[in-house]
Structure 1
Amino acid sequence: MGMTITEKIITAHTDRENVKPGEIVECKIDLALANDITAPLSIETFEKSGATRVFDPAKIALVPDHFAPNKDIHSAIQCQMMREFAYKHNLELYFEIGRMGIEHALLPEQGLVLPGDVVIGADSHTCTYGALGAFSTGVGSTDLAAAWITGRIWFKVPGSLKFVYSGKLKPWVSGKDLILYTIGQIGVDGARYCAMEF
């Protein structure tokens, strides 16, 4: 039986010939993302591990987009922690103020997310990159720290839900309306641990 695009992307990032939904696999990652809320916990976990370097300074993106400009001392400390980690490890994808934007718009605009990539991020909206043909998912800050060290992460291969639409949208009806309608049909948890493929 053939594989879905999600299964093909995951397989291409493993040492296996194929994967099946429900299997636990270890994948190589193309990009690991954190922001000024989630990065500090990942940095603390990284440092507690005893690791001295990241797996690839070109594959870790840090974007201070939630509390920049800083609203208080605590948020300034979180951004400072990111900045110091980025400089210490020569991260190529640290987006300082003046060079930044909303993380999930910024990375595609910079050409950093491509079809076929595996992207993880300590942010629940990381799955947005599926719209670009990548496999992407949110992870916890601890898993992100481990990926910074190894360049790999484990996944339970998700099942896939196929959606087929026909007809033509009426004027002023957009793709957002279509996806909101779809979510309304399946419910907010209707695709839990599944990849939605169109």
Structure 2
Amino acid sequence: MSGMTMSQKILAEHAGLSQVHAGELIEAQLDFVLGNDITSPVAIKVMEKLQDKSVFDKDKIAIVLDHFVPAKDIASAENCKCCRNFAKQQELTHFFDVGTMGIEHALLPEQGLVLPGDCIIGADSHTCTYGALGAFSTGIGSTDMAAGMVTGRAWFKVPSAIRIELRGKPNPWVSGKDVILHIIGEIGVDGALYQSMEFCGDGIR
């Protein structure tokens, strides 16, 4: 697996391939699928239209009620009810209801559900957060979430990489958040579409 980035190595492993290349379309096995109280109801409705309505693994799916809890209106309450019913019907191990939840992308690592080398999809744009833990993770739409929950697989366009080398020590009162906000300001909000950002250098140690 030489000549590949960390993200590419993880994708190759989960696709059963010895090598992948940037821009290549692949299908890979998933370690985990995530949804929340906004995106999961849409995915559940898609699943209801499929011939196979069962999840691939009840231990590898999490639904977190973290956007509108307590519910702000009837529509939000209906979304939460839809998630509860689905989690009960599918006997999901990792359903985080009122009083057991938190911000989904902090909660999953805290619960030990994200591991280095994992391949994870989530119906939320911030799912890429888990790259900090050595996983390949990306946000997807609710339709792809539905397919992932049923098949345990997803399609990916293999990303090219942006190598970011951090050198030296930050000045007093400068945090990691300051550093990443500066980098985002440099590349822009669309600056890494279909790309991984892979960090190196003595500045991250």
The code of the aligned residue for 2:83 comes to: M
Q: What are the residue-to-residue correspondences of 1:137-156 with 2, within 5 Å?
A: 137-156=138-157
Q: What are the residue-to-residue correspondences of 1:41-190 with 2, within 5 Å?
A: 41-190=42-191
Tell which deviates more after alignment, 36-45 or 183-192.
183-192
In structure 1, distance between residues paired with 2:152 and 2:72:
33
Structure 1-normalised TM-score? 0.98
Corresponding position of 2:40:
39
- How far the C-alpha of 1:124 sits from its partner, in A, is 0.5
- How far the C-alpha of 1:167 sits from its partner, in A, is 1.2
1:62-115 C-alpha deviation (Å, 9 max, x unpaired)? 001111111111111100000000010110010111111110110000010111
Structure 2-normalised TM-score? 0.94
Corresponding position of 1:7:
8
- How far the C-alpha of 1:117 sits from its partner, in A, is 0.6
1:16-56 C-alpha deviation (Å, 9 max, x unpaired)? 11111000000111110000000000000001112231100
Superposition RMSD in Å: 0.9
Number of aligned positions between the proteins? 198
SS at match of 1:106: helix
- How far the C-alpha of 1:195 sits from its partner, in A, is 0.1
In structure 2, distance between residues paired with 1:102 and 1:193:
25
In structure 1, distance between residues paired with 2:186 and 2:126:
21
In structure 2, distance between residues paired with 1:65 and 1:182:
28
Runs of 4+ in 1 over 6 A off after TM superposition: none
In structure 2, distance between residues paired with 1:188 and 1:74:
30
Please, which runs of 5 or more residues in structure 1 have no aligned partner? none
1:171-195 C-alpha deviation (Å, 9 max, x unpaired)? 1000111111112222222212100
